[in-house]
Structure 1
Amino acid sequence: MIRYISGTDLWLQPTLAQSMFRDRASQFSERLKWDVAVDKRGYERDQYDTLNPIYVIVENDEGQHAGSLRLLPTTGRTMINEYFSNALEGGPIISSTTWECTRFCLSPSANPRTAPMLIASAARLLQEFEITTLVAVFDKFMLRKYRLSGVMPEVLGEGRNAGSLILAGRWQFNQRKLNDQMRRGSLDPHECELALANSSLFAQQELISA
């Protein structure tokens, strides 16, 4: 199941929220060894989770997190501008048609469809908000996964995080790329439409695009 959830509504789904933050700790702290904070409950959360982001989440049959990503408009505070400016050779990224994607996370129990489902679901959301571009920072080893997933970014620059090489990238999305990711994830377009209809995002649209 696809979920589009605002930060203010996330804890209305406690099982989903808890499992997402624990999977983020597993991926970013334990496996990638990034310099992130994990609290006593085993949650990886940061200050950007308090800015009412949009979470795109793939939920498994048990109501647990299978994969997720976090979106914020670049017209406000973003991780890429505040913490990874050394990876932006062209300067800060601020645009009403560009959002930042962070915390792309897959559960250890995720299946091969989860990543393309997540990408396709995010692309559909971008289309709904007339957003054409995503930017993100990512571990260099993700380049191979992006290539295999058919979503290679334009690399904007590189920097360091806890001694590891990280890259800043930009993705342009269009209908062709959306259709390709839908196919790769065997995702019925109606599932995204249902998720959009069931979300409360459009009641908050003025906050997100402000």
Structure 2
Amino acid sequence: MQTTTLSFANLHNHGELFANMLRARRELFIVHNKWNLPEALGMEYDQYDTPASRWVVVHDEFGRVLAGNRLTPTTTRCGIYSYMIRDAQRGLLDTIPSDLLFDEAPVSETVWESSRLFVSHDVPAAQRRAVHARLILELGAAARNLGAAYCLTLLAATWPRWSDRVGVKMKAMGPVIETEGRHQVVAMDFATSLH
């Protein structure tokens, strides 16, 4: 199992890994979960897949994607968009309720958004926990390398049951909401975790 943090600056060094990650996202989010998301050429994408973002990918030596995640700075802007959680709060996304946070969405160089976190549907049950833990470990390292102390993420509301297992302090930042199931915005503390 390998991990790679991709950016627009290093995509050319990793062959098909970025495209494979977008294909794996499509397979899980569109095909398996039946979410209504943009797709092209067999890949899922959205307005947040920009040069400002980074993608943490867990993969095997052949480039088969096991898990992935996108990191986006909360300071980014692209037209009317900033980052998914903030844009939902601002009413720009019709698929996520605007009341997903207790307070105003942060805009800070030390806070990044973690989104599109997934473990591929075809990863065997016996390996899922290890793959997920590896993804979170690399996510924390990438976040700290980018200067982030915290990442905001929209997780399944079951997160309190497994957060201790991955070694990251997490705190609810909003109420449980209904969006493709029960979810909640959580702050992941990478300043004190995973050292």
TM range (shorter): 0.7 to 0.9
Indicate if the aligned counterparts of 2:6 and 2:18 stay in contact, CA closer than 8 A. Answer: no
Aligned equivalent of 2:25: 24
Alignment of 1:1-210 (within 5 A): 1-10=2-11, 13-39=14-40, 41-76=41-76, 77-84=82-89, 85-107=98-120, 108-109=122-123, 111=127, 112-151=129-168, 153-157=170-174, 158-162=176-180, 164-175=181-192, 177-179=193-195
Cα offset for 1:32? Answer: 3.2
Counterpart Cα distance in 2 of 1:101 and 1:167: 13
RMSD between aligned residues: 2.3
Distance 1:146 1:30 in 2: 27
Corresponding residue for residue 79 of structure 2: none
More RCO (CA 8 Å, sep 6+):
1
Aligned residues: 176
Q: Distance in 1 between matches of 2:30 and 2:5?
A: 25
Q: Which stretch shifts more, 55-64 or 124-133?
A: 124-133
Structure 2 unaligned residues grouped into runs of 5+: 77-81, 90-97
The percentage of counterpart residues that share the same residue type is 24
Q: CA deviation at 1:145?
A: 4.1
Distance, in Å, in 1 between the alignment partners of 2:159 and 2:28 is 13
| Displacement after TM superposition at 1:81 (Å) | 0.2
Q: Which runs of 5+ in 1 are unaligned?
A: 180-210
Residues 47/35 of structure 1: CA separation in 2 closer, same or farther (3 Å cut): same
Change (3 A) 1:48 1:20: same
Q: Please identify runs of 4+ aligned residues in structure 1 that moved more than 4 A.
A: none
Q: Is the 8 A contact 1:57 1:67 kept in 2?
A: yes
Could you state the TM-score of these two structures normalised by the residue count of structure 1?
0.73
What is the alpha-carbon distance in structure 2 between the residues aligned to residue 11 and residue 144 of structure 1?
39
| 1-structure distance, mates of 2:137, 2:165 | 15
Distance in 2 between the 1:20 and 1:46 partners?
A: 13
Contact 2:70 2:117 in 1 (8 A): yes
Q: Give me the TM-score of the superposition, normalised by structure 2.
A: 0.77
Distance 1:12 1:2, change over 3 A: same
Residue in 2 aligned with 1:201?
A: none
